[in-house]
A and B are shown apart, each in its own frame.
Chain A
Amino acid sequence: MNSKAPIFESARSFVVFSYNIERGLLLLRSRKANATPTRIDVLFQDVRAMELRSWFQGIKIEESDRQFLETARSKPVEMIEPGNRIYSLVGPGWTGFVVGGIVSVLEDNGEYTSPSGLMERKRGDK
């Protein structure tokens, strides 16, 4: 089913924090807690199809293939364009997917609702 090593794996609690249609940004976020005093952001770009829970405990993200999507009733394969990637999202007792572009992960000390460092424009050296 999955052909590559996990891109990201965590036992922490996450929420679907935001989705922005312009560049298809899907942000999953794990907030700071006593036991885990950091924030983790997982940002998928160019997302055009997805199936996942709005919040969950524990996640493993792997890159997968078209075959993985064949049984999905929303027919996400039809949304794939050149260069798109298929990700499987596996939690305890459930499996979902994201079809999109690249995925990035950032762990920092940010607050729950403050902007993600993955989405703030880095000023170049010009």
Chain B
Amino acid sequence: MKKRLLKHIWLLLWLLFAGGTLPSIMWGYDVQPNCLSIGYDLCPASTTDYDSTPMHIRNERKTPGSAGCAVFGEFAKFLAAETGGGADIALGSRVGGLRTFASDIGADHLLDVPESEWQDVFLSHVEDPTTTFHVNMTGFYGDTTEEMILNEMQSGSNTGWELQQLQQAGRLPQVNFYQNGAGTLLANPFK
């Protein structure tokens, strides 16, 4: 994904040219060696709060920890604004191949978010205008895309609940709907 690649390049450049000028205590990745390996997770919530503004890093709601993280948080917001995108979240039935769908389009999913937290994580993404949602409609029923989405909302499924939240938040017009996994991107009937 072009946007994602651009973000990573920006991040690398920033770490090379700006990160080195900050004292290491402002970062925390020296004691969190795995932080860099999971994207932008440089701000473990366990560190002392400085900037309490929650951030959404991949599937997780994070609270930036130290002063360096606050700087990083601003930078991440800048990147999101500049590149026009935050997280990409894949939705749909796991029986319909949600993991594969997410992998195919380069998006995250919420299947590995703890059961007691996934709804709140999802709602955080709904509130975040930089998050893009992608719905795999495999398993939905109806004659048109619109009918399929509306039927799914009434089905009582978790995906139906997620679609209801998107509808209530006025986000449906920005959602990408797919058929046959990632194979076919459909016209959005809610635009």
Contacts and interface: CB of A to CB of B under 8 A. Distances in A.
Q: Which 10 A-B pairs rank lowest in CB-CB distance, beginning with the nearest?
A: A81-B99, A82-B103, A124-B120, A46-B111, A122-B116, A101-B112, A81-B100, A119-B115, A102-B112, A82-B99
B94 interface: yes
User: Dominant SS at the A interface?
Assistant: loop
Interface residues of B, number: 22
Contacts of A83: 99, 103, 111-112
Contact of A122 (B95, B98, B117, B158): B117
Interface string A21-60: 1111100000000000000000101101000000000000
Given A81-B97, A122-B120, A124-B61, A23 B115 contact: yes
Nearest to B104: A82
Given A102-B112, A121-B120, 14 more contacts: A22-B158, A25-B115, A45-B111, A45-B114, A46-B111, A81-B97, A81-B100, A101-B111, A104-B114, A119-B116, A120-B116, A122-B116, A124-B123, A126-B124
Contacts of B111: 23-24, 45-46, 83, 101
Interface of A: 21-25, 43, 45-46, 48, 81-84, 101-102, 104, 117-124, 126
B114 A48 contact: no
A122 B66 CA distance: 25
A81 B95 CA distance: 11
Interface of B: 61, 94-95, 97-100, 102-103, 111-112, 114-120, 123-124, 157-158
B120 A118 contact: no
A102 B116 contact: no
A99 to B, nearest CB: 12
B39 to A, nearest CB: 15
Contacts of A119: 115-116
Contact of A46 (B94, B117, B123, B157): B94
A82 B102 contact: yes
B18 to A, nearest CB: 31
8 contacts: A23-B94, A24-B111, A46-B111, A81-B100, A82-B99, A83-B103, A84-B99, A121-B116
Nearest to B157: A22
Contacts of A82: 99-100, 102-103
A22 B99 CA distance: 14
A118 B114 contact: yes
Given A23-B158, A81-B99, A46 B116 contact: no
